[in-house]
């Protein structure tokens, strides 16, 4: 069974600085998808960025980028120029590339609570 581990329960960053959130996962599959979700306090969870395992190039979305190391099964999120609105719980998630039923499910880590200091 696949597992996702986030070893940093809490992180803090100064506004305008850069922070990296760690995520490791375990799987025997060769093709899969990885995601970072953001859950602000009392607000909906939203997708920040995703990575297809078959792609070697790291995904980027504006100030958000990932460092995907497939051999090491590592998928870290880098937030550049941190803003106060980035304060949230961040979840790393894994999804199988297989189609149908419960394989659609996302397997989540326990999350990292990011505080942004003004």
Partner 1 sequence: ETGVTQTPRHLVMGMTNKKSLKCEQHLGHNAMYWYKQSAKKPLELMFVYSLEERVENNSVPSRFSPECPNSSHLFLHLHTLQPEDSALYLCASSQVKLVGVDEQYFGPGTRLTVT
Which residues here bind partner 1, judged by CB under 8 A? 4, 9, 33, 37, 43-47, 50, 52, 91, 95, 97, 99-102, 104-111
Coil, helix or strand at residue 105 = coil
Least distance in Å: CB of 20 to partner 1? 21
Least distance in Å: CB of 98 to partner 1? 11
Using the minimum distance from each CB to partner 1, give the nearer residue, 58 or 80. Answer: 58
Q: What span, in angstroms and rounded, lies between the C-alpha atoms of 92 and 76?
A: 9
Q: What is the dihedral of CA 117, 10, 50, 52, to 10 degrees?
A: 140
Burial class (CB in 10 A: 0-12, 13-18, 19+), 34: buried
Q: Work out the widest C-alpha separation in the chain, in whole angstroms.
A: 45
Least distance in Å: CB of 101 to partner 1? 5
Least distance in Å: CB of 86 to partner 1? 18
Using the minimum distance from each CB to partner 1, give the nearer residue, 82 or 111. Answer: 111
Using the minimum distance from each CB to partner 1, give the nearer residue, 16 or 47. Answer: 47
Using the minimum distance from each CB to partner 1, give the nearer residue, 46 or 115. Answer: 46
Place of tokens 């953001």: 38
């Amino acid at each position: 069974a696949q597992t996702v581990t986030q070893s940093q329960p809490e992180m803090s960053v100064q506004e305008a600085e850069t922070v990296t959130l760690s995520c490791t996962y375990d799987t025997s599959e060769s093709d899969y998808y990885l995601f970072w979700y953001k859950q602000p306090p009392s607000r909906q969870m939203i997708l920040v960025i995703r990575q297809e395992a078959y792609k070697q190039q790291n995904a980027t979305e504006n100030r958000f980028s990932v460092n995907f190391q497939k051999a090491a099964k590592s998928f870290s999120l880098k937030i550049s120029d941190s803003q106060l609105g980035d304060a949230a719980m961040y979840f790393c998630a894994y999804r199988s590339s297989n189609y149908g039923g419960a394989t659609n499910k996302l397997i989540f880590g326990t999350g990292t609570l990011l505080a942004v200091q003004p």
